[in-house]
Amino acid sequence: MKLPHLLAIPALLALLGAGCAVSPVPSPVKETVPPSTTTTSSVVETAHPEVAFDKPFSLAPGETVSVGGELFVTLKTINDSRCKKGTVCIWAGELGATLEVAVQNGGESEEVILGETTAPKKTVFLREISLVKAGEQTVELSVASVPIVEEQIES
């Protein structure tokens, strides 16, 4: 067997392989986004019942209302950290609510967590949102009509 023929075999295999080469498919890249409380609203572009500022309104989980045509408030979950009967707890716990508050339907939004004792009111998008009453199936909320200016928030 001649040596030049042996050298030709790898070259021939390389040529054949080049014609059958498949370009690699890029794998999906998972981008890590730092957590933030301000996001784009998941509230879908639909008509929602409108309620007035300064008037208490009730929401069940998954329900959304438009407050004065300016804010959209969605009740994501009712939080129940109350001490269960028959157990010994450090504190009694509370009922609360996790809300998504958006400045427009489908616009910028913030998650707001309210509790009967720990955080009965919070300011979001310059409006004070209050937890009036919480139950196991619904919560009652109120949104102030007068915008809170930044100086009032800091004090």
Give me the CATH number covering residue 117: 2.60.98
Look-up of token digits 């009453």? 133
Residue 74 lies in a domain: yes
What is the CB neighbour count within 10 angstroms for residue 36? 8
Residue 142 lies in a domain: yes
Which of 29, 39, 97, 35 shows the shortest CA–CA distance to 63? 97
Residue 42 lies in a domain: yes
Mean pLDDT by groups of 10 residues along the chain of 155 residues: 51 45 38 40 65 96 94 96 90 94 83 96 94 96 85 54
Domain with 48, as residue range(s), is 38-154
Residue 49 lies in a domain: yes
Q: Alpha-carbon distance 54 to 120, whole Å? A: 15
pTM greater than the 0.85 cutoff: no
